[in-house]
Amino acid sequence: MTTSVDDMPQMKKFREWFENRHEYAKKWKEKTGGRVVGYYCTYVPEEILYAAEILPVRVLGSHEPESITRPYLHDMYCPFCHDTLAQGLQGRYNYLDGVTLAQSCLHMRQSYFSFADRVPNIEWSYYLPFPHGVNNPHAGDFAKHEFEKFKESVEEWTGAKISDSDLDRAIEVYNRSRELLTKVFELRKAENPPITGLHAMLIVVSSQVVDKEEHNEVLESFLEEVAEVEPDREVGTRLMLIGSEDYDIELFELIEYGMSYPATFVFEENCTGSRYFWGAVENGGDRIKALAERYVYRVPCPAKDWARGDFFGRRRFQFIENVIKEWNVDAVIIAQMKFCDPHELDIPSLRDMLDRMGVRHLHLELDLTQPVGQFRTRVEAMIEAMGEEDLFI
């Protein structure tokens, strides 16, 4: 019997895919002769690309200091946007045939346009308008119209029509991925979860950079075997991570494996976590409409979730509240990317909600290019304070 999740061959494969994502895409391209398209935001309907036999890969940074982007982006733009653009300018994404972005924040939009204009191997690019107000009753129809135009552009570029059967196949593969990833997160409701937040992050992010069908096969095998693994670490404080692109191995290792007090992430509400895969496509005939409705009505990011009325009527806040209850969350870490305006605007209302629920929370401002060791004392202080409070209950 495997005594550690880290020793499982499937987990080693997820980590290999995560760490060697560029090499994977290059080998896939050599093997299949197909095209590879990078996408900047998780609101891009990957199924349309996949239906055209294109490999969609998430454009990610490398957590390295960079200065090459300064002529193209303002200094006050977030480190993620600088880092991703730097990867393109430095040739790390020299295997991409195209790049696309579903309308997102101003910072990401500028990074995308610079990437599309300045990276020489990009032959196709598409800026996909997407409704910011996903709670607007017309958002679904708007997205459907734009998804149809996106599909037409892909067809024009590839020279091949995307049939309903092509879309059905892609939707089936992606829905299966979402189902399996949801099962991974459901495992973490347990009193003694078999996996950590680090494991979950590697699983979800690797699914964003490899062929979904191949990833599904490995993930199915993982789920069959992980139930037999006996956790070899103390769970400690059950944490929820709330943020944007939080895929920093060092951050997860620091908090889950490198502190004086045991702690485990049991849920990640971010676009490299649950927001990426939560909610399936309900395919009932009109494939493009079904896709549009899934992407509009999935768990929204802060740049999209603008409700009429108070902040507590927003779908994302309702989702967070339910997760805290169902996953028995002890405390929340709000990991805001430095200079990220949409998340920063949410923080006061998010804090109010957590205070109302009586849930401890800590705000950390992340910079992908800076060491995370500085956070150790702050996280430990929060957990220590929680322990002291319990003594008086």
Question: What does pLDDT average to over the chain?
Answer: 92
Bridge partners (DSSP) listed for residue 127:
101
67 pLDDT band, cuts 50/70/90, is confident
Percent of the chain topping pLDDT 70: 95
Kind and range of the H or E run holding 57: strand 54-58
Rounded to whole angstroms, the Cα distance separating 267 from 305 reads 20
For residue 61, name the pLDDT band (cuts at 50, 70, 90): confident
Quick one: average pLDDT of 129-138? 89
pLDDT reported for residue 2 = 53
- Among 105, 107, 106, 127, smallest CA distance to 116 is for 127
The band of 388, judged by pLDDT with boundaries at 50, 70 and 90, is low
At 64, phi and psi to the nearest 5? -115, 145
Residue 393 has pLDDT above 70, yes or no: no
CA torsion 31-87-47-247 (nearest 10°) is: 110
CATH of 21-166, one of 3.20.20.140, 3.40.50.11890, 3.40.50.300, 1.10.760.10: 3.40.50.11890
Q: Which residues contact 389 (CB under 8 A, 6 or more apart)?
A: none
Helix (H, G, I), strand (E, B) or coil at 35: strand
334 has a pLDDT exceeding 50: yes
Least confident of 65-79, 303-317, 359-373: 303-317
What confidence tier does 133 reach under pLDDT thresholds 50, 70, 90? confident
pLDDT per residue as tens digits for the range 156-190:
999 999 999 999 999 999 999 999 999 999 999 99
Does the structure show a pLDDT above 50 at 149? yes
pLDDT band at 313, cuts 50/70/90? low
Residues 249, 74: Cα–Cα separation, whole Å: 27
The pLDDT assigned to 390 comes to: 57
Averaged pLDDT, 102-111:
91
Q: How far apart are the C-alpha atoms of 51 and 246, rounded to whole Å?
A: 28
Q: Where are the beta strands (DSSP E) in 193-283?
A: 237-243, 263-269
- The answer, yes or no, to whether residue 309 has pLDDT greater than 60, is no
pTM: 0.94
Please compute the mean of the pLDDT values over residues 54-75 and round it to a whole number.
Answer: 88
Q: What's the pLDDT score for residue 35?
A: 98
